[in-house]
Amino acid sequence: MASLTPIRVTERAQKLAQEILHPGDIAIDATAGKGRDAAFLAQCVGPGGHVHAFDIQPVAIDASRNLLTIAGLMERVTLHPRSHAEIKESIPLEQHGRVGAVLFNLGYLPGGSPTIITQPASTAKALQAARAELRVGGRIVCVSYTGHPGGEQESDIVRQFADQCEQSGDAVQRLGLDPNPGRPWVMTVTRNFA
């Protein structure tokens, strides 16, 4: 299987979310970072849709707000300065189970501190929370990086989640995973049943 370069992998992930999203949808950017994915999702859902974007770093929330404001997309986005493990507690009641796509781009903020990084335990909780919010046909897209300390352990969590969803009847893709040690890969889980 061809490897996915870091640039291509994020674009690939965006396209995999775009395939699913319709105007008016609800989408989640689980790792806002500099706001590029949130801006992309906001364009996909259009003026009638909404995006919830999460990040634990104030600098990432500020960067995302700046980008979204410049792009004229801030009205479609709610920025949540908290962990993606708290998705359920953060989105409005009427949006539960109606989410079209959830995008995770794991790891650390490019240009930021490599010590502030997604963690296996909270990633596991967030993936389960994201799955619970999907509408039928909705999709989780998750980019995992295995080349940094802790990356392999987090990647294992993502693999286990994919296996569990597949056993439950969801459609799962693992793109660029094997044989591809140390490289990023993309998982998608598409909810198949009510």
Ligand X SMILES: C[S@@+](CC[C@H](N)C(=O)[O-])C[C@H]1O[C@@H](n2cnc3c(N)ncnc32)[C@H](O)[C@@H]1O
Interaction of residue 57 with ligand X, rule CB under 6 A: yes
Interaction of residue 105 with ligand X, rule CB under 6 A: yes
Structure tokens at 51: 């995006």
Which H/E stretch holds residue 63?
A: helix 58-70
For residues 25 and 138, what is the distance between their CA atoms, to the nearest angstrom? 10
For ligand X, the nearest residue by Cβ is: 33
| Residues forming a β-bridge with 172 | 189
Binding segment (CB under 6 A) for ligand X, from list 51-59, 128-136, 168-176, 185-193: 51-59
The site that binds ligand X (CB under 6 A) totals a number of residues, namely: 23
Chain-centroid distance, C-alpha 104: 2
Interaction of residue 154 with ligand X, rule CB under 6 A: no
Chain-centroid distance, C-alpha 91: 15
CB of 11 or CB of 136, closer to ligand X: 11
CB of 55 or CB of 170, closer to ligand X: 55
Interaction of residue 54 with ligand X, rule CB under 6 A: yes
Neighbouring residues of 119: CB distance < 8 A, sequence distance ≥ 6:
150, 154
Q: Map tokens 């793109």 to a residue.
A: 175
For CA atoms 188, 185, 106, 181, the dihedral sign is positive
Closest CA to 49 of 76, 20, 16: 76
Interaction of residue 52 with ligand X, rule CB under 6 A: no
Interaction of residue 107 with ligand X, rule CB under 6 A: yes
Interaction of residue 27 with ligand X, rule CB under 6 A: no
CB of 20 or CB of 143, closer to ligand X: 143
Residues 7-26 that bind ligand X (CB under 6 A): none
- Residues engaged in binding ligand X (CB under 6 A): 31-37, 54-57, 60, 83-85, 105, 107-109, 116-118, 122
